[in-house]
Chain A
């Protein structure tokens, strides 16, 4: 059951990821990315990361992609957007990189399978963390976020503040020394 779910989600994720790059019309690309985000959220649910699945749908599908659609429609783009001239080089580099990564993953698994085996990994996890996991996904993430990762959490809020100020300033008219049309 879990294997079937994984292969369904993986197939749709790969297909829509390729479609995002392949579509000529930016609106179709954004819709394909929307489908991909929903299936990544499904994959997170099968991995027992329910909080992140919800956040994935709310933040990515609800906020980020709506922003993309808004800008694509605001700019009213023409559809004659073609690929770069070096498209063959790009795809060739991607295939070489993919072969390299698959080779690395397979050789690591064959070489020292006990280190990658899940039993050894779960045994090495600290008992305190395991006790947190049994309490529930959202509680565990909140606990980690406000104890061990408190300072990165504050830095993340600062990043959001800087991004908000930057976006407001950049999107204003007459910024960057440009003349008013």
Chain B
């Protein structure tokens, strides 16, 4: 039986990888991928606690996280396409205007 704390450490490592990715990358698509990493880290935590607590509610919450992730990807990629049409770049350092 793997201790629960191992799953928590794994989840923390994946979450912080996504966090560092948001901080250090300049490509806005990689920023969205890093957000996916963070959402998956929370999913691992939810499922691990659900198994160890013998309660299905954690898995239901993963289901909702999945819904929000799908919505976020659809809207985020649509925004990226709209931005790319206007500015022809995906570098976040060039996207510094509120209006153009």
Write the residues of chain A forming the contact surface with B, with a CB cutoff of 8 angstroms: 2-3, 6, 10, 13-14, 17-18, 20-21, 26, 29-30, 33, 36-37, 40, 43-44, 47-49, 51-52, 55-56, 59-60, 63-64, 67-68, 71-72, 74-75, 77, 81-84, 86-87, 89-91, 93-94, 97-98, 101-102, 105-106, 108-109, 116, 118, 121-122, 124-126, 129-130, 132-133, 137, 140-141, 143-145, 148-149, 152, 156, 159-160, 162-164, 166-171, 173, 175-176, 178, 181
Bound state CA distance, A178 and B8, in angstroms? 46
Residues on B with beta carbons closer than 8 Å to the beta carbon of A2: 1-2
Bound state CA distance, A27 and B59, in angstroms? 30
Bound state CA distance, A148 and B14, in angstroms? 31
Residues on A with beta carbons closer than 8 Å to the beta carbon of B90: 75, 77
Contact between A94 and B75, CB atoms less than 8 A apart:
no
What are 8 A-B contacts with C-beta separation under 8 Å? Answer: A6-B6, A21-B24, A98-B12, A149-B57, A156-B68, A163-B71, A170-B79, A176-B82
Bound state CA distance, A80 and B57, in angstroms? 45
Residues on B with beta carbons closer than 8 Å to the beta carbon of A109: 3, 5
Report the minimal beta-carbon distance from B15 to chain A, rounded to whole angstroms: 8
Bound state CA distance, A13 and B18, in angstroms? 12
Bound state CA distance, A163 and B3, in angstroms? 38
Contact between B82 and A68, CB atoms less than 8 A apart:
no
Contact between B85 and A51, CB atoms less than 8 A apart:
no
A37-B40, A167-B75 given; A17·B19 CB < 8 A: no
Contact between B84 and A87, CB atoms less than 8 A apart:
no
Contact between B57 and A67, CB atoms less than 8 A apart:
no
Q: Which of B23, B77, B80 contacts A86 (CB 8 A)?
A: B23
Bound state CA distance, A13 and B15, in angstroms? 11
Instruction: Tell me what chain B mostly uses at the interface: helix, strand, loop, or mixed.
Output: helix
Residues on A with beta carbons closer than 8 Å to the beta carbon of B50: 47, 49
Bound state CA distance, A137 and B24, in angstroms? 40
* CB nearest neighbor in B for A51: B59
Contact between B8 and A105, CB atoms less than 8 A apart:
yes
Interface mask (B28-68 → A, CB under 8 Å = 1, otherwise 0): 01101110110010011001101111111101101110111
Bound state CA distance, A71 and B67, in angstroms? 20
